[in-house]
Amino acid sequence: DQQVKQNSPSLSVQEGRISILNCDYTNSMFDYFLWYKKYPAEGPTFLISISSIKDKNEDGRFTVFLNKSAKHLSLHIVPSQPGDSAVYFCAASDGDMRFGAGTRLTVKP
Amino acid sequence: DGGITQSPKYLFRKEGQNVTLSCEQNLNHDAMYWYRQDPGQGLRLIYYSQIVNDFQKGDIAEGYSVSREKKESFPLTVTSAQKNPTAFYLCASSIDTGPRETQYFGPGTRLLVL
């Protein structure tokens, strides 16, 4: 039973454009959400987080949006750069952390 | 530099063999975790430890065992009872197991069955 779903296994965008990665969850008890970035043969690294009391958190080129009523989370990267090419995992926690399956982002020069 | 190290990077297991994956952290974190990643799936929790000499099963603990004799170390043994061990294994740590703790990951170990 996947409580956190990333329905797009891959996404390709042009350098300089916006990348939007989406994540849906089913457990309404989740109150903390994170995005991790993973390069091949490396462990995930923490990117950005948001608590359920907020609907937006911004850190440089990265913004996470939370829509609690829709149980939907998204990560926006603006502008996208080739170095952003990686697999992005969303995660949600109610004390136990659950991860989505990941979305592979490719940013083309 | 503070961080989490995992060794080896690649590990091969023969049928019926137990193998142990190493995880060490120098972040002074109390909590440590082991995850398994399979293609097309999210990270699944195998075991976690909130404190030395204490650990709990995660969602897929069958066929695995752990120990936590030192704060810095949380080795994972993949036993012969684990029938499908081929996967990418990730170790993580966090300050504690609170709901808003960020987990920090090691580079992973890829286990392959011969």
Cβ of A31 under 8 Å from any chain B Cβ? yes
In this predicted structure, what is the pLDDT of residue B102?
86
Residue B78 pLDDT exceeds 90: yes
Cβ of A4 under 8 Å from any chain B Cβ? yes
pLDDT in tens, B95-111: 987 777 889 999 999 99
Q: What is the sign, positive or negative, of the torsion defined by CA atoms of B34, B57, A1, B80?
A: positive
Q: Concatenated DSSP letters for B43-95? A: -EEEEEEEETTEEEE-TT-TTEEE--SBTTB--EEE-TT-S---EEEEEEEES
In this predicted structure, what is the pLDDT of residue B14?
87
Residues of B with Cβ-Cβ distance to A46 under 8 angstroms: 102-104
Residue B2: which pLDDT band, with cuts at 50, 70 and 90?
low
In this predicted structure, what is the pLDDT of residue B53?
95
Shortest alpha-carbon distance between residue B43 and chain A (Å): 6
Residues of A with Cβ-Cβ distance to B44 under 8 angstroms: 99
Residues of B with Cβ-Cβ distance to A99 under 8 angstroms: 35, 42-44
In this predicted structure, what is the pLDDT of residue B114?
80
In this predicted structure, what is the pLDDT of residue B33?
95
A32/B41 touch (CB, cutoff 8 Å), yes or no: no
CB A55 within 8 A of CB A66: yes
In this predicted structure, what is the pLDDT of residue B6?
95
Residue A1 pLDDT exceeds 70: no
CB B37 within 8 A of CB B88: yes
Residue B1 pLDDT exceeds 80: no
Residues of A with Cβ-Cβ distance to B97 under 8 angstroms: 95
In this predicted structure, what is the pLDDT of residue A59?
96
Shortest alpha-carbon distance between residue B10 and chain A (Å): 10
User: SS3 for A83?
Assistant: helix
Shortest alpha-carbon distance between residue B90 and chain A (Å): 7
**Parallel, antiparallel, or unpaired: how do β-strands B10-13 and B109-113 relate?**
parallel
How many residues make up chain A in this entry?
Answer: 109
Rounded mean pLDDT, A9-18: 97
